[in-house]
Amino acid sequence: MDSRRDRLLELVARLREASPGAVAPGDLAHDLRVGRDTLRKDLAELEAGGLPLRHDKGRGVVLEPLPPGEPMDEAASVAAPVPLTIAEAVRGQRVVRIVYVDVEGERTTRDVEAGGLVVAPYGEYLVGWCRLREGPRLFRLDRISAAVLTGAEAGLRPVDELLASLRVPAPRAAPDRSTPARARAWTLDRIRHVRLRLAETEAAVASSAEGAARLRAVLGHLAEWTRWQVAAVRSVSTGEELRFFGRRPAFPADFDREQAFEVRERMIQDAMAVRSFGELARDLDDVLDGAAHWVHDSPDAWWTDPVPDPATPGRHRPLADLVAGWHGPLFHVEWHLDRLAEPPEPEESADDDPDERLVLVCPLLG
């Protein structure tokens, strides 16, 4: 470890990864390459700082769940859940030190100038300037094992510039939520815009066999994921069961069970393979049309107060943001259309984390 603070952060990361299970002190000491006495002192310091630890005889050390709290200082950020620490870093434009585990299991400790949060179809990401790699990066939150606020302030790097460098579309104009009618009208306008872009993209690739093949693969992905995203937002708004717009294909019985993204995506592509290009395009458009009719007919009360965010338990957001904001289903569609219009350049650095590219290049296109 480069420093004592890094060792404490790595210790928290190991405990979080095992939670709610226990970790034997001997295993912790071995992993951290310290003696038993040093480990006991480290654990005692973390407990004194507010980390809820339980010592189970015969089992080891257990990290107890910690409820969300108020805005935190550096000491409290070690004990807080990772998403809360990251959110605090973004809110205060601060540097956050993270333990990051990439898709290949490699662990790195790095300082990141927190710029913003991106909610993509595959998870929630921290976007910021990585001081280890000296460049803009995206870090999936569920791969951040531990995080601690530092006393340093983030540089003046606008999040839209970071996203542009990473080839991620910048957020659209913020909705006018001054009245329910205006919030609804903005959302409907965004749906119309995305449907128009979809039609224009179809027309543009009609004469290109390669372009049509790439779009066909994306259409199957978009139709099903957009169907699910819209259904989830509608369900949290109405309190009703999921209702899917468009023509959902027949899936295996285990499709609706918890699955890895890659497994679910493979099922989607297999189910969509029997459909023609036109059928896939109509299915996606039907989903967007169903969303438009639902938005148009929705009561004003839904557009007044924030509703639960189906992608982030415990968080509430305005309905206009959930449907048409830069982290919602419409953003997902445009994200893929932008990628098709401007294919990404080949990765130049072997140092790039594979998982950072996941949000930039969908596994279906990679």
Parts of the chain belonging to CATH 1.10.10.10: 4-63
**Class of the domain covering 4-63:** mainly alpha
- 65 pLDDT tier (thresholds 50, 70, 90): low
Q: What does the pLDDT read at residue 358?
A: 34
What whole-number distance in Å separates Cα of residue 233 and Cα of residue 148?
A: 32
- 167 pLDDT tier (thresholds 50, 70, 90): low
Q: What does the pLDDT read at residue 66?
A: 57
Q: What length is written for the chain?
A: 366
Residue type, 251: F
pLDDT of residue 118 exceeding 90: no
Beta strands in the chain (DSSP E): 22-23, 53-56, 60-63, 94-101, 107-120, 123-130, 135-140, 144-153, 307-308, 316-317
Q: What is the mean pLDDT of the chain?
A: 79
Better-scored residue on pLDDT, 20 or 269: 269
What whole-number distance in Å separates Cα of residue 361 and Cα of residue 352?
A: 13
Q: Is the dihedral of CA 103, 104, 107, 110 positive or negative?
A: negative
**Class of the domain covering 74-165:** mainly beta
Better-scored residue on pLDDT, 31 or 206: 31
CA torsion angle 203 338 327 167 (round to 10): 180
Residues 6+ away with beta carbon under 8 Å from 143:
100, 101, 102, 103, 355
Helix (H, G, I), strand (E, B) or coil at 273: coil
Q: What does the pLDDT read at residue 194?
A: 92
Backbone phi, psi, residue 60, to 5°: 135, -155
Residues 6+ away with beta carbon under 8 Å from 66:
51, 52, 79, 80, 81
Tokens for 62? 């257990």
pTM score: 0.55
Parts of the chain belonging to CATH 1.20.120: 180-343
Q: What does the pLDDT read at residue 332?
A: 83
pLDDT of residue 341 exceeding 80: no
- Residue 63: beta bridge partners? 53
Segment 86-113 shows an average pLDDT of: 86
Q: What does the pLDDT read at residue 72?
A: 65
Residues 122-162 have pLDDT tens digits of: 567 888 888 888 888 888 888 898 898 888 888 777 766 67
Backbone phi, psi, residue 112, to 5°: -125, 130
Q: What does the pLDDT read at residue 339?
A: 72
Segment 160-173 shows an average pLDDT of: 59
Q: What does the pLDDT read at residue 112?
A: 93
Q: What does the pLDDT read at residue 355?
A: 40
Q: What does the pLDDT read at residue 172?
A: 55
Q: What does the pLDDT read at residue 295?
A: 95
Tokens for 323? 């449907």
Residue type, 153: E
Better-scored residue on pLDDT, 85 or 284: 284
**Geometric angle at alpha carbon 316, from 360 and 99, rounded to 5°:** 45
Residues 202-245 have pLDDT tens digits of: 888 767 777 777 788 789 989 998 999 999 999 999 989 999 99
| Domain 180-343 falls under CATH 1.20.120 | yes
pLDDT of residue 166 exceeding 80: no
